[in-house]
Amino acid sequence: MDKLWKCEDCGKGFDYPSRLKYHQRSHTGERPFTCSVCGKGFTQKTSLMLHQRIHTEERPFSCTCCGKRFRYSSTLTTHQRVHSGERPFICSMCGKRFTQSASLLNHQRVHTGEKPFTCSTCGEGFTRSSGLLSHQQIHTEEKPFSCTYCGKSFGQSSTLAVHQRTHTGEKPFICSECGKGFSQSFDLVRHQRLHTGERPFTCSVCGKGFPRLFSLQLHQRIHTEENPFSCSTCGKSFRQSSVLIEHQRIHTEEKPFSCSTCGKRFRHSSALTVHQRTHTGERPFTCSDCGKGFTQSFDLVRHQRIHTGERPFTCSMCGKGFARLSGLQSHHRIHT
């Protein structure tokens, strides 16, 4: 059916003159419906009525499962998918499913590399408008949202809401598999991959999958041999900034982690954790063959070679194998 009413600016057709009239406001910038509270203008009366619920705090749509209330029916529909598990929007590239079409569009930029939101100050591109807004606060240093508990300021209200949960202890996002709670929905999604085994981030070089984008980016440095973090004292380079920080403690002799029982200090938190087992007697790593317990996973792996007969350290001179590197090093003295 031919659409009789055409826009003179862009040529788009409409079934009714009223729809053409609304559309033309996108060209003229006309916003005849104005909010009496904040002065914001809208092209349609219905849009103004929906907006006014922000001021009246009216939430007429309630979830039958949990009772949570919403301003808009569309927001309720999206929320109900949390309960039903429905994910109707599917990525044609990798098959990943989403509850909202907007989430799918954002996700597809991972595949296309599209970054449509560009910072006018430095030119950096972002896949989401929210990412750009957050970034722009680096330039303006504006932080209008303050925590009522500690006074810390934030650039976004959503970041403040997440921060305040550190004071209240609130963890509203619950894993349906194990019951563990999280302060952010993102952390829950990431945690659920432990149960599902999902590894959505795949290395284009070797095909290895990862549950986190950050883990993939670190892994890719193995292929590129990129070590961007350099020690200013000795020049040694590292793939991760956290490994550089730990390394620098060799030069500074800093030992920030101390045992609450005996006061002994350590460079790494992991070394403190292992040490504390000498006081508690805890041996969390158990051999499935004989039941012997160990304080470190490394000791368990080494012990299991007694049962398997594995000798991974081989002499290049005579071919003899050893279960431990120290055994091979002692053996080398025979040849020298």
Q: Could you state, in order of their start, the residue ranges of all structural domains in the chain?
A: 5-56, 285-335
Q: Which CATH class is domain 285-335?
A: alpha beta
Check whether domain 5-56 has CATH 3.30.160.60, yes or no: yes
Matching fold, domains 5-56 and 285-335 = yes
Q: What is the pLDDT of residues 216-248, one digit of tens each?
A: 888 888 888 888 889 999 999 988 888 888 899
The distance from CA 285 to its chain's CA centroid, rounded to whole angstroms, is: 30
State how far the Cα of 295 lies from the Cα of 277, in Å rounded to an integer: 7
pTM metric for this prediction: 0.38
Give the pLDDT mean for 148-167.
86
pLDDT of residue 22: 84
**Is residue 264 predicted with pLDDT exceeding 90?**
yes
Nearest residue to 137 (alpha-carbon basis) of 151, 149, 147, 122: 122
pLDDT of residue 259: 93
**Is residue 306 predicted with pLDDT exceeding 80?**
yes
Mean pLDDT for the chain overall = 87
| % of the chain exceeding 70 in pLDDT | 100
pLDDT of residue 1: 58
